[in-house]
Amino acid sequence: MSYKIKDLSLASEGKKQIEWAERHMPTLMEIRKRFEAEKPLKGINISAVLHVTKETAALVKTLKIGGANVALAGSNPLSTQDDVAAGLSRGRNLSIRMERRK
């Protein structure tokens, strides 16, 4: 796993934030269930430069569960949620690269 995160010690709080977003995104979670069974994105490479938020993390996890290889970079250091970036990168079997530029 390759990533650059400001503070990996924030991963626990970030995980909670991501879980909160997932609870409040029922349509995405339905898509995730389908993706988990069908793997429609298997072998597809997806790269994104986005605001790193709990909602973005839920989307990235769904793409990965769908079989995609995902690379994510923060588009704006002022909108990157450091805890979410850490939570997405730490302790997950995801091929995600996060970088917060200064």
Distance of alpha carbon 29 from alpha carbon 33, whole angstroms: 6
Over residues 85-99, the pLDDT tens digits come to 889 887 554 545 555
pLDDT for 77: 78
Structure tokens at 70: 């995902």
Question: Tens digits of per-residue pLDDT, 36-79?
Answer: 999 999 999 999 899 989 999 999 999 999 999 888 888 887 88
Q: Measured between alpha carbons, how far is 78 from 88 in angstroms, rounded to an integer? A: 18
Supply the mean pLDDT for the chain: 86
Q: Which contiguous run of DSSP H or E holds residue 47?
A: strand 45-50
Q: Where are the domains of the chain?
A: 8-89
pTM comes to 0.85
Percent residues over pLDDT 90 in the chain: 53
